Structures are given as C-alpha cells and as structure tokens.
A and B are shown apart, each in its own frame.
Chain A
Amino acid sequence: VTAAEEQDKWLADAMALVQHNAFFMHRALDNNNLRDALKYSAQMLSELRTSKLSPQKYYELYMKSFDELRKLEFFFKDETKRGRTNADLYELVQHAGNILPRLYLLITVGSVYIKSKEAPAKDVLKDLVEMSRGVQHPIRGLFLRSYLAQVSRDKLPDVGSEYEGEGGSVNDAVEFVLQNFTEMNKLWVRMQHQGPAREKEKREKERRQLRDLVGKNLHVLSQLEGVDLAMYRDVVLPRVLEQVVNCKDEIAQYYLMDCIIQVFPDEFHLQTLESLLGACPQLQTTVDVKTVMAQLMDRLSNYVASTPDVLPEILQVEAFGKLSTATMKVIDAQPDMPLVGAVSLFVALLTFTLRVHADRLDYVDQVLGACFKKLEGRGKVKDSKATKQIVALLSAPLEKYNDVVTVLKLTNYPRVMDHLDYETNKSMAVTIIQFIMKNNTLISSVDKVEALFELLKELIKDSEGNP
C-alpha cells in the first residue's frame, strides 16, 4: 500500500464516521433534542483529533465538519428562541470531555452569542482566542484557529460595525486578530520542528500549503475600517514585525513579509518604510530578502506611476535614502548572501530610482557606486547569474534615458562594467553602440568621447587598429 493510498483510506474512514455522526446529529436537530445534538456533534468533531492525515487531507475533513457546524449554528440560534440563553449554551458545550470538539463547539456557540449581543463581542472573542491555547498541536491548532478567524470575521467590533460600541472598539478587534495571528504563526513555525529530520522537505512543502491560513489574519487586519495609518503604524505593524522577526523561521519570514507588502495599502508602506525596512536585516540569512525588498520597491514605484501626486510625499519621507540604507544594511547583515542576491537588490533599487527619481542622476550613480563597492577587489565576475544581473543593472539607465550622453555622466558606470568578464563586456559595449546608432546620438565634447572610449575599451582593444 503506498502512502497516498493509505492517506485516502484514512480520509475515507474518517469521512464515513463524520457522515455517520452527522446523520444522528441531524436527527437530533430535527427533534429539537439539544442533548443528543451536542453528543453527536462532539463525536463527529472527534474525527478531527486524528494525527494520521496530511494537511491536505485534514483540510478536506475540516471542510466537511465546517459545513456541518453551520447547521449546528442555526440550531443554536433557534435554541435561544426556544428559551435557552446563549450563556447557558456557552457553558453547556464546555462540558465536553475532549478539548478539540469542545472548542469547535464553543466557537460555534460563541458566534451565535456575539450575534445575539447578549454579551459584548469583545468579551466573547477574547475568551475564544484565549481558550484556544489549549490546542498546541500544530495542524489541529492551525485549523481550529482558522475556524475561529473564519466565523469571527464579520463579528469584529470594527469602526462602523454593528458590534462597535457596547461590543467593544476597533482596538479590541485588532487585539483579537493580532493574538490569533501570533498564535497561528507560532504553531505554523512549530510544525517545522516536529517529526523526523529526514522528512524536512516534505514538512516544508506541507507548511507552504498551510501558509494562507496564517496570512488570512493579516488580510482581515487590512480590511478593518478602523485600522488607519496611525493604528497601523503604532500597533499593527510593530506587533506583526515583532512576530516575524522573533519567529526566526525562514519560510514564515519570507511569506509574511511578502504578505504584509501585498495586503496593506501603499500609502501605509510609504509612511512606515523605516520600520518595514528595519526588519529586513534582522531576518534569517537564508531568507530571500531581495525579492521581498524588490516587491516593496516595485509596489512603491507603481504607486508613484499611477498616483503622481504622492511624489512629494515620497520625497518628504526620503524614500530613496531609506531604501538605499536598508539595502546596504541587508547586504552587510547577510555576509553569506550570494553575489547575485546583492546585485539583484541593486537592480531593484535602481529600478525604483529610475522610476521615481529619473531626474536625480546622482541617486542613480549612488546605486551604481554601491554596487561597485560590493564588487571592488573581486576582479571579473565569474558567476553567470550575477553577470546577468549586472547586465540588467547597466541596461536599466540606458533604457530609461535612451541617451548615452546622460549615461556617460555616471562616473560609477564604467567601474561596474569593468567587472564583467571579457565576453559579456564586449556584448555590453555593442549594446551601447547600438543605442548610439539607433538614436543618432551626437557626442559633443572631448571628455564625453573619452568616457565613451573608456566604456568601449575592451571592444577596441580586441579590434586593434580599428577604432
């Protein structure tokens, strides 16, 4: 029997038992028999206690139970019409002996309880997120908390929500989601350290399948009306970053940084650049920070392109200075970073600079200068991937300005180009010539011509006597 077949069988068995207990649960619901409804629903949920299923199979089982719990939720709602209070129900479901069924039931009743407004939403939410601590098993805990996140989404005391006021404030909503996020991330990171070392890759794959369960919380935060720039800057981002940095886990750090950049608005990123970038050098050295930063710079430059009025704001927050400082810090913090990583960071920074500060040649030259510093003393670059990135770095200003004369003003340009190996250097020189030809560029001064020849020297050297 292969592992996959075994998984299918276990899932089928568990599904059948869920089905079986759901049948009796439905019958109890039809007969308004609360006692039996609780008994069979708890038995049904007991199937989620399994340790045998892979996350993917477990997810299927979870979804099945999820559907059944919706029916139970409607029943609970009707129970209160039959004279039972939500407080009673909230206690009653906690009599279940096993913790996992108990907490699924508690969250389900909790959801009805909040809706009834018999208790402040913030109190119920706080209790639910706190009680969920009892489940420390990574996969079971992640799904349980994911259930909590799911059913509470439309019941948070957000600004303008019907649960605001007596139900609490957006602070309570944020606190709740942040706590659930933190705990979920801890469980997710913990998955990495459970099980035999030889299954590391399998675990990493499984973890990647579950990442959106964790990311969902950030999404919820970004959707809260009450999370304005101040709240984001002072509460949300610091707390999220604290978790990201402290978890010391490569997969989580990369995913969450990316997630932050994706889900929150550009305006927020612009105003919190320092904190966001400040976290980058603190990440594990194996984290692909360059992609994260490139994503951020990419978003910011698109933001400027689509909303030109923010340009003054970018200048005001000194985005370029912050980004280039952060880039250097990240490179310094990760001495083992392959050269290609460092160079692609410069490419991203240069792309940002060219799109946002096309008029600031000094910025462009600064980026090239930083790259040169990194290359200095290394001689010709042998690594083909790094070479490719250097070519991209050198091509970007050409494409942007479409004018070699402007490029010739960049003092660091030839210095970087020097580090290309002979072949690449030659083809780069050809590219430059093609640019000149295409645009019929006229070079008017002697020093510019010298600069150009300096650039093309490898080409010239090879074809001696043919300047």
Chain B
Amino acid sequence: MQSLFAGAFGQPCVISIDLSDMESRKQASIKKENGQMGMVPLFQGQESVTGEVRIDPLPGRKIEHQGVKIELLGQIEFYFDRGNFYDFTSLVRELDVPGVIHERKIYPFEFSSVEMQYDSYNGVNVRLRYVLKVTITRSYVPKIVEYKDFWVRNFQTHPDVNNSIKMEVGIEDCLHIEFEYNKSKFHLKDVIVGKIYFLLVRIKIKHMEIEIRKRESTGSGANAYNESETLAKFEIMDGAPVRGESIPIRLFLSPYELTPTYRNINNKFSVKYFLNLVLVDEEDRRYFKQQEVVLYRVD
C-alpha cells in the first residue's frame, strides 16, 4: 500500500517485488501487524527465491542512485524492543551499479537453495519473519526501501520413537487417576486419543476438560519471560464418575491454531505445548496435571 502513495511522500518511484512462481505457489493466511488476516507467499527451507524487481519512476522524475540491491533477511524481533531486528540470515544481491534510472527498469534476482531452517512465527512477545528488502541508495537524500514479506514453514518427518504418555497421579486418599495419551508427539492435524481411568474418587467432580496450552519463552537469565496461552478447552467428562470408570479422550488438533514445538530458536525463544488435564469439583476447586507434548508439522 505504501508505494501507491509514494508520490505524496516525495518518493520518486514505485518499486514492486514479484516472485516468479506466484500463480502456482501456495499462500499462507497470516495475521498481519494491524490484526487483519492477509495472504502471503509460502516457502520452505532450501527452496530458491526468485523473481524480479521493477522500478517505475513517476512521470517526469528520474532517480540518481549509488546502487540498487536486494536482500533476503531472516529476522527475529522482540516486541519489548520493537523495530530492532536481529538478522540470523542475510543474503545480498547487487542489482545495479550507481547510475540514473529514467524509465521502468526490471531486475531479475535469484537466491538459490536458501537455508531457511526456522519457521516464520508471530507470537505474543516475539516474531520471526522472512523478508525481501530492496534498497536504492542515494547520496545526500534518504535511501528508498521496499519490503516484501513471505512466510516459511518447514516440514518434519514422523518421529522414530513416539511413546505413549501414561501416568498415575492424584491427591492422597482423595483422588487417584491414571491417564494415558496414545503418543507424546503429535503432528498438527493429529488426533489425541487417550483415556482417564479413575482409581479412587472421594471428591464430587463436576466436570473434566483438557486444555491445550502454549508457552512462549523469550530472553534468558534476568530477562527471561514466559507467556502462557490457553488455546483450547475441550470438555471430556460431564458429571461425577465413580471408581473403575474410564473416560475416553479424542481430541482433534486441526481446529486450533497451533505451530510446531520450537526449541530454543537461535537461542532467542522457545514455543512449547502442554496438555493440561483439569478436573473441577462441585466447589469449583480445580485439580490439574500438565504434561508437555511435542508438536510437529508434516506435509
């Protein structure tokens, strides 16, 4: 949008960055900074990012410049330090030597087999983004800069080892349960299958639910900050069970906006997921057991 009003802000040209396979390329629906949803092109690691940069001077204007370049940046930004990007990937292609642009000029570019090992991520306190940045350097006047965001998702293979989670928990002489989730690692469209077995029940339970909780950890040491969000509340039992009852669990993950588990991304942040089993008694006391699960993405 910015470039449309370029004239009004004194920018002498319109810059557009077009990817070469836009028709065939998948798009990702992303919540943008203004809170609205938008579509952006979707890539995965090791793909080539190719296209062209088009510079259209406004009628009657010409651009004297000290060079034109395009960069592919992978950046992490903390929201407490907004505007300050940490670049973990930075690739540059020089597009033009110093000179003057009188009329439309088109520069093809190619970043081949780019290492983009991290997924794009929009979190509560941090985001990881990939962006193409075109810069026209000028002397004595500000540079002209144009950005184009794109999104990266990486895919993983199914883990070799994927044990079930089985555990007996409780409060002495009050409540003993055994719960079981069929796996400890789930892909994003997976189903959590399990059951809760009641071994001892001396409290009046009103209902039981499973919460999917996401914990985003940023910073380290004194600056470490954890942000927990409950992404889902899924009721699995209504009423008070007695000893010996077993309650089935079947929770589809697809309706929720989940990301894979991210561990210590570039030593900057982590995103972890937990299943929180919550029992609520008739006095609204809550008993819970939280258990980490690993989420991963497959094709």
Contact = CB atoms under 8 A, between A and B. Distances in A.
Contact of B238 (A49, A91, A97): A49
B81 to A, nearest CB: 37
Interface residues of B, number: 20
A219 B235 CA distance: 33
A275 B73 CA distance: 80
Contacts of A190: 242
Interface stretch (B49-57, B154-162, B247-255, B266-274): B247-255
B248 A130 contact: yes
Contacts of B234: 97
A212 B274 CA distance: 44
B205 to A, nearest CB: 8
Given A97-B234, A141-B239, A136 B245 contact: yes
B215 to A, nearest CB: 21
A134 B238 CA distance: 6
A98 interface: yes
A81 B242 CA distance: 43
Given A91-B252, A94-B252, A95-B255, A137 B239 contact: yes
A133 B245 contact: yes
A99 B233 contact: no
B237 interface: yes
A134 B208 CA distance: 9
A131 interface: yes
A97 B207 CA distance: 13
Contacts of A49: 238
A145 interface: no
A140 interface: yes
A94 B249 CA distance: 11
Residues of B contacting A: mostly: strand
Contacts of A135: 237-239
Contact of B239 (A94, A95, A102, A136): A136
Interface in A351-395: none
A51 B234 CA distance: 20
B75 interface: no
Nearest to B244: A186
Interface string A123-155: 000000011011111101100000000000000
B246 to A, nearest CB: 7
B236 interface: yes
Nearest to A137: B239
Interface in B217-268: 232-242, 245-248, 250, 252, 254-255
A100 interface: yes
Given A49-B238, A140-B238, A133 B248 contact: yes
- Which of A98, A133, A134, A190 gathers the greatest number of chain B CB atoms within 10 Å? A134
Interface of A: 49, 91, 94-95, 97-100, 102, 130-131, 133-138, 140-141, 190, 194
Given A102-B235, A135-B238, A136-B239, 5 more contacts: A97-B234, A99-B235, A99-B236, A99-B238, A141-B238
